[in-house]
Amino acid sequence: MAWLKWLLLCLVLFSPLGIDIYLPAIPDIASGLGSSESLVQSTVSLFLLMMGLGQLLAGPLADRFGRRPVAMAGILIYLAGALLAVVADSGALFVASRLIQGIAVCATSVVAFSAVRDKLDGEESAQAYSFLNGALNIVPALAPLLGGILAEHYGWQAPFWFLACYSVLMLAVVWRYLPETRPQGTRQSSGIPFDRYWAIVRNPRFLAFAMVNGTGMGMVLTYVSLAPTVLMNQNGLSPLGFSLVFGANALWIMTASFMANWVIRRFGQRVCLGVSLVWHLLAALALALAFSHFGSDPWGYMIPVALGCAGFAASLGPATGLALSPFGDEAGVASSLVLFIQMALASVIGLAAVALPLAPQWALCVTMVLAALVVVRALRMARHLAP
């Protein structure tokens, strides 16, 4: 299973690569297209929103046609979106390219999450989800730096050429090495199974744990959206300095995810959720105190951010595993619904936080408190589950 986890990791990398690699090039993209930076920045949330909506279709397709063909179709669509970004000559075409790639990554993500559920159960699945979350955070650490270097030397289109090349490589790898993991008894649907989605989302256990992922991701998305304002505009960091700080936090998230994996193995999923609650509460308190006493200070911002991101890292594996565990015969549909809630709720939270008439630090603090409250609800639900 170890080699399969690394292959699945390569599939889920399509999402963070698609988000992070072009962040340092946003000013150049806006200038090159004659568009506003706000429009280009909005494609981050739009990418996630389309990724969430696409889950509703990708899950049933993965259950009906299998994991391999859906993964390959998603990679081909992602390749088309990358090439459209390369040739885009207007803001509208660029937005369209990001929407296409957002739809595409829903397929690769659903396949990765479904394959874990196909092969593993219980705490083993939670450990696998934590592994994927932890390992993929190396991309936010390196992708902005790589994208900035590519854009500086070869133009803002270069990061999207890189995404196109990665798509071609992964298409060959999936064709050759990805096994079909769909169980024989998988429940299938001829269309979008709204009745099954409704039945699953009405399950209090599923909804409680899926919302942990959504609010945690919303907090991280708020940080990603507002960090350039806080670190570059308010504190004067250069694009390179921003990339280094952003990357350092991503490496910390990876470390926190591996720590969460150890906690799951040693103490179980419920204890790990409790640890995530502590991280979230400390983050909100630290940010409120730092901003109240020191104003806009980069350390006063990034230390609470690191605490909050550790809370998300600690909650993702247990929450995903506990949400999906009752749905072994329809893992694709259930996985797609988890990811839909995660991405759609995160997009709503991120857009709302940016629109709030608050300082960026206070807007982020609100999302940290919200994430903590949802973890409290999930912990109450977990008390009624078998250890």
Max avg pLDDT among 79-83, 203-207, 227-231: 79-83
Whether residue 387 lies inside any domain: the answer is no
Full DSSP string of 7-71? HHHHHHTHHHHHHHTTGGGHHHHHHHHT--HHHHHHHHHHHHHHHHHHHHHHHHHHHHH-HHHHH
Q: What is the C-alpha end-to-end distance of the chain, expressed in Å?
A: 25
Q: What is the CATH number for 344?
A: 1.20.1250.20
pTM: 0.73
What 3-state class would DSSP assign to 88?
Answer: coil
Q: List pLDDT tens digits, range 191-200.
A: 667 777 788 8
Whether residue 284 lies inside any domain: the answer is yes
Whether residue 60 lies inside any domain: the answer is yes
Q: Please list the helix, strand and coil fractions of the chain in percent, rounded to the nearest 5, in that order.
A: 85, 0, 15
Whether residue 44 lies inside any domain: the answer is yes
Over 80: is that where the pLDDT of 266 sits? yes
Q: List pLDDT tens digits, range 51-109.
A: 878 777 777 787 777 778 888 999 999 999 999 999 998 989 999 999 999 989 888 88
Q: Which residue has the tokens 């670190």?
A: 231
Q: Can you tell me the distance from the alpha carbon of 247 to that of 253, in angstroms, rounded to the nearest whole number? A: 10
Q: Count structural domains, the chain.
A: 1
Whether residue 122 lies inside any domain: the answer is yes
- Residue 217 and residue 320 in contact, taking contact as beta carbons nearer than 8 Å: no
Max avg pLDDT among 104-108, 128-132, 366-370: 366-370
In terms of residue numbers, what domain contains 136?
7-180+192-382
Whether residue 187 lies inside any domain: the answer is no
Q: Which of the pair, 105 or 186, is modelled with greater confidence? A: 105
Whether residue 185 lies inside any domain: the answer is no
Whether residue 186 lies inside any domain: the answer is no
Q: Which residue has the tokens 């921003």?
A: 242
